[in-house]
Amino acid sequence: MHIIEPHQIQQRKLRPDSANKLPLRIAFLVTLVIGAGGLLMWRLEHRSLPLPAIAQQEEAEEAQTGDAGPPKPLRLKQFSNEQFRDLYNSFAYPNTAEIAAPPVITGNSKADKRIRDLAFGRGYKLRSAPVSPLVTTEDGFALQQKAVKPWHDLKRAAAREGIPLGLASAYRSIEEQRLIFLQGLKATGVTPEEVAAGLVDDKVIRVLATTSIPGASRHHTGFAVDLKCSDEDHTLFVHSKCFAWLSNNNYEKAKRYGWIPSYPPGTPNQGPEPEAWEYVWVGIDTLSE
Ligand SMILES: [Zn+2]
């Protein structure tokens, strides 16, 4: 029989006790750290959660850049439709270089010359094209970097007022424009030989009324956009509430975000017939006093 002396009992009681206390202390500390960490996370999350605060911050940032945001004391210049056209032609589009040589159209050089003469006679001009890569908008269209935020800002400003502004087209390459033009020409049933002989000028002019020759489209710059209202065909844009919103008071809303009408109404010699849906970015600095 093993006799336990009193001093041994003391020791035996002490040992398990002190051995049990260590894990307890560790557990307590871990709980404390986790608790404090959780509290910190909660505070951080709740500090960044309130959306009005974010919106205010964004608006403050936008106000600083001067590119966008809610109405602010901006003195916008007024333009006649001819002045819009002339501004487009005189503005130096950044990140572009002039298209020096007229691109091939049908491949029949005589027909191509005839088409170009008719196009330039209507006011079409060779435009410029990007010299470095473009950026994709949140709508999935290629656009010049400088025009992307102004487009997103314009779209959001419209949405805030219940205007469903969307993109139908943005950058277009010379080759894409060539195919679009050829499609239009083909639909008239003419042959390049007839075009070259000058027998079908009226039909070529009818195509030019709506479609640019390759090299002369403003979409080549990467700064032009075709807008649509909701999912309506963009050619109906002139009748939409989006157009009414954009064009009101000398295109105030468009100008506020750096955009001007590309082919305003009642303006002769600008290439195609007026296109209410097309806008070009020239920047807020150009448009404000
Ligand atoms: Zn267009």
| Spacing, Cα 224 to ligand 1 middle (Å) | 7
Residues with C-beta atoms within 5 A of ion ligand 1: 226, 278
Counting residues of the chain whose pLDDT is more than 90, the rounded percentage is: 70
Query: Whole-number mean pLDDT of the chain?
Result: 83
| Spacing, Cα 76 to ligand 1 middle (Å) | 25
pTM here is 0.74
CB 221 within 8 A of CB 144: yes
Q: What pLDDT does residue 234 have?
A: 84
pLDDT in tens, 17-45: 444 444 545 454 444 444 444 444 444 33
| Spacing, Cα 225 to ligand 1 middle (Å) | 6
| Spacing, Cα 46 to ligand 1 middle (Å) | 45
| Spacing, Cα 226 to ligand 1 middle (Å) | 5
The pLDDT-based confidence of 72 (bands split at 50, 70, 90) is: low
